[in-house]
């Protein structure tokens, strides 16, 4: 959850790419089964989707609760730096593979 809506770093860390990449890295260091990893990734994706749908309806209901644009946040440059981290990149690649799953996208990932 975002505690400070004016913080660009917290908003970037709330992206699905960052969350999935973070789970992949903790799985790599912590271990566990492949099936448990897939279930965790699926759970993260479903929870994120529900939260974004809730956020969209909340923004439509009350426009004063909408987040400001990222460029107006005080730590925008640091947020751009977070997008280059390994966690964000891994999650972004995993999402691209998920979009191309019918074309064999996961084979490219593994």
How far is it, in rounded angstroms, from Cα 64 to Cα 73?
17
Q: For every one of its 110 residues, what pLDDT tens digit does the chain have, with 9 covering 90 and above?
A: 677 878 899 999 999 999 999 999 988 777 778 888 889 999 999 999 999 999 999 888 988 888 888 899 899 999 999 999 999 999 998 888 887 765 656 655 55
Q: Are 79 and 73 within 8 A, CB to CB?
A: yes
pTM for the model stands at 0.82
């Amino acid at each position: 959850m975002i505690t400070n809506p004016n913080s660009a770093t917290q908003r970037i860390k709330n992206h699905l790419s960052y969350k999935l990449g973070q789970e992949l890295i903790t799985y790599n260091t912590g271990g566990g089964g492949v099936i448990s990893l897939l279930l965790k990734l699926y759970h993260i994706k479903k929870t994120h989707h529900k939260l974004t749908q809730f956020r969209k309806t909340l923004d439509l209901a009350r426009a004063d609760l909408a987040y400001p644009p990222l460029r107006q946040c005080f730590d925008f440059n640091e947020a751009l730096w977070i997008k280059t981290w390994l966690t964000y990149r891994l999650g972004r690649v995993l999402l691209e593979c998920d979009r191309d799953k019918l074309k064999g996208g996961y084979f490219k990932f593994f």
